[in-house]
Amino acid sequence: MAVQPEDQAVTKERNPYRIVQALLKEAVQTLGLPYDVYEILSYPHRFVEVNIPVRRDNGQLQVFTGYRAQHTHVLGPAKGGIRFHPGVTADEVKALAMWMSFKTAVAGLPFGGAKGGVVVDPRQLSLRELEELARGYIRGLAEYLGPHIDIPAPDVGTNERIMGWMMDEYERVVRRNDPGVLTGKPLILGGSYGRAEATGRGVVLCINEAAERLGMKLRQATVAIQGFGNVGGHTARLLHAMGVKVVAVVDIEGGLYDPEGLDIPGLLEHAARRGSVAGFPQGDPITSKELFQLDVDVVVPAALENQIDAEVAQGMRCRIVAEAANGPTTPDGDAVLKEKGIFVIPDILCNSGGVTVSYFEWVQNLTQYYWGEEEISQRLARQMKNAFARVFSMHREMQTDMRHAAYLVAVRQLAQAMAARGMIPPIG
Q: Which amino acid is at 206?
A: C
Q: Please tell me whether residue 72 binds ligand NAD under the rule CB under 6 A.
A: no
Q: Interface residues for ligand NAD in 279-308 (CB under 6 A)?
A: 288, 302-304
Q: Interface residues for ligand NAD in 352-411 (CB under 6 A)?
A: 354
The DSSP secondary-structure symbol of 9 reads G
- CB nearer to ligand NAD: pick between 203 and 414: 203
Q: Please tell me whether residue 351 binds ligand NAD under the rule CB under 6 A.
A: yes
Sheet holding 61-70, edge to edge: 46-55, 61-70, 112-119, 78-85, 150-154
Q: State in angstroms the smallest separation of the CB of 51 from ligand NAD.
A: 24
- CB nearer to ligand NAD: pick between 157 and 424: 157
Q: Interface residues for ligand NAD in 231-260 (CB under 6 A)?
A: 231-232, 250-252
Phi-psi region of 90 (alpha: psi -120 to 50; beta: other; left: phi over 0): alpha
Q: Please tell me whether residue 199 binds ligand NAD under the rule CB under 6 A.
A: yes
Q: Please tell me whether residue 227 binds ligand NAD under the rule CB under 6 A.
A: yes
Half-sphere exposure in the Cβ direction for 393 (13 Å, CA): 7
Q: How far apart are CA 97 and CA 177, in angstroms?
A: 27
* Helix (H) / strand (E) containing 68: strand 61-70
By CB under 6 A, name the one of 216, 325, 384, 387 that touches ligand NAD.
325
- CB nearer to ligand NAD: pick between 53 and 86: 86
Q: How far apart are CA 72 and CA 4, in angstroms?
A: 25
Query: For residue 34, which of 25, 43, 23 has the smallest C-alpha distance?
Result: 25
- CB nearer to ligand NAD: pick between 222 and 351: 351
**Helices 195-214 and 353-367: angle between axes, nearest 10 degrees:** 140
- CB nearer to ligand NAD: pick between 346 and 354: 354
Q: Please tell me whether residue 93 binds ligand NAD under the rule CB under 6 A.
A: no
Q: Which residues are part of the catalytic machinery?
A: 115
Q: How far apart are CA 397 and CA 330, in angstroms?
A: 25
Count, residues in the chain: 428
By CB under 6 A, name the one of 21, 183, 222, 226 that touches ligand NAD.
226
- How far lies 246's CA from each of 31, 207, 274, in Å? 39, 13, 20
Q: Please tell me whether residue 229 binds ligand NAD under the rule CB under 6 A.
A: yes
Cβ-contact 207, 236 below 8 angstroms: no
Binding segment (CB under 6 A) for ligand NAD, from list 152-160, 365-373, 378-386, 417-425: 152-160
Binding segment (CB under 6 A) for ligand NAD, from list 50-58, 206-214, 226-234, 236-244: 226-234
Residues within the interface to ligand NAD (CB under 6 A): 154-157, 199, 226-232, 250-252, 288, 302-304, 324-326, 351, 354
